Structure 1
C-alpha cells in the first residue's frame, strides 16, 4: 500500500513538473515561432529582391561595414552569437543574453542575404530562441537550474521552427552543449518547445523545402534475408570519413581566415569591406552567383543549389568547395547568419560528387552528405540522424546512422561551436 502511495505521489510530482514547464515554455515557443516565421519570410523576400536586381551584390562590402558598425554600437555582448548562449547555459546564467540580440541578428542576417553573403539561418533562429528564453527567465525569476533548462528550450524552439524538424530540434538542444553527454532531464521541455514553435511557424504559412530520396529501392542486397546492401554500407562508411574531413576543413579554414584577417587587416571595418570584395570577386571568377545567399534553390532551373544536388548532374565536382570557401569568408569576416544551411549545401554537393565518381545513388548520397557534414561540424550525430528521418523518411535509416556516426568520429573534437565542451572523448587517442 505504501509503495502504491509512493508511486502515485511520484507520478503526481512528475505531472506537476511537466505542466509547469509547459506553461513556462509556451510563451517562449510561440514568440520564437512567430519571430522565426517573420525571419524566414523576410529572408525569402531578400532573396527574391537579390535575384531580381543582381547588381545589388556590389553593395555587399558596404553592407558588411554597416553590419560591423551596428554591432559596435548596439551589439556589444552579443557578438559571440550561438556560442554566447551555450556559454550562459554552462554558467547557469541568463544575464549575458540580452533581448536586443533578437532584432539585431534578424536584421543583419537579412542584410547579409540581401546583398549576397553566403550564410545560413540556423544561427539566427537559435539566437532568437536563446534571447527570448533568457528574457522570460528573468520575467519568471527562475533559479539557476531552471534558467539552464529554459535557455535550452529556446535553442530547441529556434532550431525546430527554422527547419521544420521538431524532434531533431529538441535533440540538438540537448546534444550541442557537450560532446558525448546529453541532459535528458530537459528532454520533454525541449521537445515541447520545439513542437510548439514549429507548429506556430507553420500556422503562419511558412513552408519548408521538401527533399526526396527515391532511387535506392532499385538496389539489390548481396546477402539474402538482409535489408542492408553490404557493398553500399561500406561505400557509405567511406563517404562518412570524407564528410568528417570536410567538416574539419570548414572549421580550420574559418579559424585561419578569421585570425589572418585580424592579424593583417586589424580594423573590423576593413575586414568586412575586404570580405565582401572577395565574395563578389570569387563569384564572378567562377561565372555564377549560385553560391551566394542561402543556396536552397537557384533562380535558374539548371542552377546549382541544395535541391539540385539531389539530381544527376545537379552540381559540379567542386561546387561543395566553392560554397565552403564563400561561406567561410562571409561568416569569418563580419557578416551574420548561420553555418548549418551552408553545411547542408556543402554536404549534399559533395555527396552528389562522391556518388557520381563511385557509381552510387545520387539522391541517397546527397541526403547523407546533407546530414553527415552537419553532424560532424556540430558534433551532434543523434540529432542529425533524426533529422534525416524527418526530412527524407525512415526507409534508409541504417545508412543515415552509418554516415552520421562515422563522420562524427572522423571530425575530431573541434566544431563550429567553440563553447561546446568535451564531456566524453570520442576515442582515448583523441584526448
Structure 2
C-alpha cells in the first residue's frame, strides 16, 4: 500500500492552521466588540450621572439666584418709583456716594464684574460680600438718581452666589467655575427676561471668541427657572416692542452698515470715557470718601442744569420712547455718556449695560432717520450695536435682539452686530475679559479688553 505523499500532510496542516487562526481572529473580534460595548455602556452611565448632577445643580442655582435677582429687581423698581414721586432725594447724592465707598472700602475691595470673570478664566474665588454689597449699593444708586444700570450688578450677584454654592458643595475649581457661569445666566435671565441670551452671554463673556460648552446644560437649566420665578415675583420685563420694521433692501442695508460703523465709534468713546473720567476724579487731592462726595456734588449740579431727571437712573422710559419712534434731543447720547462716567467716578454701583442701551437707542433714533431708516428700527439697531461692542458678545447680542424686538428685523440686527463688533476692536467694559480670537487678525491671540 503506497504511503501518502508529503503534499497531503502539508495541505492538511495548512488547512488546520488556517482554521485555528480564523477562530482566534473571530474570538478576538468578539472580545474587542464586547470591550467596546462595555466601554460605551460605562460612558453612557457616567454621562447620565453627570447629566443628572448638572441638572440638579443648575436647577438649584437657578432657583436661588432667580429669587434673589427678582427681589433685587423689585427693589430697584421701588427705588426708582419713589425718586420719581419725591425728586428731592437727589440732594442726598453726596451722602449716598460717601456711604457706598465707605462700605466697599471696609468689606469688599474686589473689581466687581471683572472679579467674576476672573473666577471663570482663572478659577479665582469671588468674595462672599460681593452679592449683598452690590445688591444694596445698586438700589441706593437708583434711589439717588445715579446714571447706572442693573444687569452688570446682576452678573455680580449671580456669579457670587454661584461661586458660594460651589464652595458649599465642595466643588473642584473646574466645577465651581461652571456654577459661576450658571449663576450669571440665572441673574441675567431674571432681570432682563431673556433666557436665550442669558445662557449664551454667560458662556461667551469671559473668553471673547470661545464658547464654553461644558457650562451649556447648567446655564440653560439655571436661566429657565430664574426667568419664570421672576415672573412669579411680578418682575416687569422690558416692554420694548418696535413701532415698525421696514423690508430689508439694498439701500437700507447700506444705511445699516453706516449706522453700525458710527455706533462702534460711539461705543469706543463711551468705554474710554468710563476709564478716563474716573481716572481724573482720582486725582482730586482728598480722601476717597470725601472725593466720592465731591464728584457726587458735580453729578447733582449736572442734574439740576439739565432741567430734570431725563438722564438719571437707567432711563428705560427713554428707551421705550425711542423704540416707538419718539423724538429725543440730538445730544442725548453724549450727555448720557457723561452722566454715566461721572456716576461711576462718584462710586455709584449698578453697571453700565442699560446706560449703553440708552446711548444706542438715542443715537440710533437721531442718526437713523438721516440715513433713511425708521426711527424705532434705528434705535433697536443702535441698542444692539452698543450692547455688543461694550460686552464683546455678538452671539448673545443677536439673541437678545430677537428676544427683545422680535425676529422680523433679523437681517438688520445680524448685519449691524457683525460690523459693529469688528470695528470696535478690543475695547470693552471689562478689562479682565480675555480676547482669545481677535477682530482684525486671523488666528488666536491672548489679550485683555481695554478702555
Offset of residue 359 of structure 1: 2.9
**Counterparts of 1:278 and 1:264 in 2: how far apart (Å)?**
13
Alignment match of 1:192 (pick from 215, 221, 230)? 221
Alignment match of 2:233 (pick from 197, 204, 208)? 204
Counterpart position of 2:297: 277
Counterpart position of 2:205: 176
- 1:63 counterpart = 2:96: yes
Counterpart position of 1:82: 113
Cα RMSD (Å) of the superposition? 1.8
Matches within 5 A, 1:328-407: 328-407=341-420
Offset of residue 334 of structure 1: 0.9
Counterpart position of 2:179: 150
**Counterparts of 2:181 and 2:402 in 1: how far apart (Å)?**
22
Offset of residue 69 of structure 1: 0.8
Conserved 8 A contact 1:180-1:426 = no
Conserved 8 A contact 1:212-1:363 = no
Counterpart position of 2:147: 118
Conserved 8 A contact 1:18-1:189 = no
Matches within 5 A, 1:129-144: 129-144=158-173
Q: Specify the SS of the correspondent of 1:428.
A: coil
What TM-score results when the alignment is normalised by the length of structure 2? 0.87
Offset of residue 99 of structure 1: 2.3
Q: Specify the SS of the correspondent of 2:283.
A: helix
Conserved 8 A contact 1:175-1:181 = yes
What number of residue pairs does the alignment pair up? 411
**Counterparts of 1:255 and 1:342 in 2: how far apart (Å)?**
15
Residues 353-386 of structure 1: per-residue CA shift (max 9 Å, x gap): 1123223111111111112101001100110000
- 1:314 counterpart = 2:327: yes
**Counterparts of 2:338 and 2:226 in 1: how far apart (Å)?**
32
Q: Bigger radius of gyration, 1 or 2?
A: 2
Counterpart position of 1:302: none
Counterpart position of 1:230: 250
**Counterparts of 1:231 and 1:181 in 2: how far apart (Å)?**
34
Conserved 8 A contact 2:389-2:427 = no
Residues 318-362 of structure 1: per-residue CA shift (max 9 Å, x gap): 111111110111013311111111111111111101123223111
Alignment match of 2:122 (pick from 83, 91, 115)? 91
Q: Specify the SS of the correspondent of 1:422.
A: strand
Counterpart position of 1:300: none
Residues 274-315 of structure 1: per-residue CA shift (max 9 Å, x gap): 221222212222223111012112xxxxxxx11111133431
Residues 156-213 of structure 1: per-residue CA shift (max 9 Å, x gap): 1111111000110011111111221121221121111111211221121112122122
**Counterparts of 1:207 and 1:289 in 2: how far apart (Å)?**
22
Q: Specify the SS of the correspondent of 1:195.
A: helix
Q: Specify the SS of the correspondent of 2:316.
A: coil
- 1:159 counterpart = 2:188: yes
Offset of residue 8 of structure 1: 4.9
Offset of residue 7 of structure 1: 4.8
Q: 1:189 to 1:49 in 2, by over 3 A?
A: same
Conserved 8 A contact 1:153-1:193 = yes
Offset of residue 6 of structure 1: 5.1
Q: Specify the SS of the correspondent of 1:274.
A: helix
Offset of residue 26 of structure 1: 2.1
Offset of residue 406 of structure 1: 1.0
Conserved 8 A contact 2:243-2:324 = no
Matches within 5 A, 1:100-111: 100-111=129-140
**Counterparts of 1:189 and 1:348 in 2: how far apart (Å)?**
33
Q: Specify the SS of the correspondent of 2:199.
A: helix
**Counterparts of 2:289 and 2:269 in 1: how far apart (Å)?**
26
- 1:410 counterpart = 2:423: yes
**Counterparts of 1:338 and 1:145 in 2: how far apart (Å)?**
27
- 1:33 counterpart = 2:76: no
**Counterparts of 1:208 and 1:360 in 2: how far apart (Å)?**
27
Offset of residue 248 of structure 1: 0.7
The unaligned stretches of length 5 or more in structure 2 are 1-32
Offset of residue 239 of structure 1: 0.8
